[in-house]
Chain A
């Protein structure tokens, strides 16, 4: 069974810092990997999706990398802002052995950016 681990579990930083959130997964047979943001009381918002053939994706201040063979992904947040405070979830979609589209999630990293 696919296991997804996220480190650290929580992170509290001052505004302006550059951050790295880590995600690892046990089975490298993935179709893609996705980073989500979850705000309290709200659903998940997709931030970046990396196909298994890609090594990274960028959107604004966010950059996500994927090393499929070693089972790792990192989410890099540049020049963090208080509005970035949320829980960040990593999810993988296996490419075999389960319903296509079924996502396996980590527990998330709870990020607090203070002014």
Chain B
């Protein structure tokens, strides 16, 4: 595709609901990153995929957060039993290769509001 896309762009959830956020990286990009950006803060790393392998999930704030990329392309970030502190913009980024630094291309983000 032309760029990284994310859906939905906006999501409102009641506390306790489960949500699923989707990321479509640039076609052929090997690396995929998820970041969480709270209001007034910089993005914080959540997790990293190299193809379908989740190589780093050290940034996931709790076991309610789960991410997958089963076929090495589209990725889904799932949050179970959402809490108000989960309200943030969730950004996805992809880059061409792994093993060396390549420019990351960011999607527009999904703004999650938990009521």
Cβ contacts under 8 Å, B103 to chain A: 46, 49
A32 to B95, CA, bound (A): 15
With contacts defined as CB atoms under 8 Å apart, how many contacts are there between chain A and chain B in the complex? Answer: 63
Segment of A12-20, A56-64, A70-78, A101-109 in the binding face: A101-109
Q: Which residues of B contact A108 (CB under 8 A)?
A: 42
Are B91 and A44 within 8 A (Cβ)?
yes
Chain A interface residues (CB < 8 Å from chain B): 4, 31-32, 36, 41-46, 49, 89, 91, 93, 98-108
Given contact pairs A42-B108, A46-B103, A102 touches B56 in the complex (Cβ within 8 A): yes
A43 in contact with B42 (CB, 8 Å): no
Chain B residues 83-115 with CB under 8 Å of chain A are 91, 93, 95, 98-109, 111
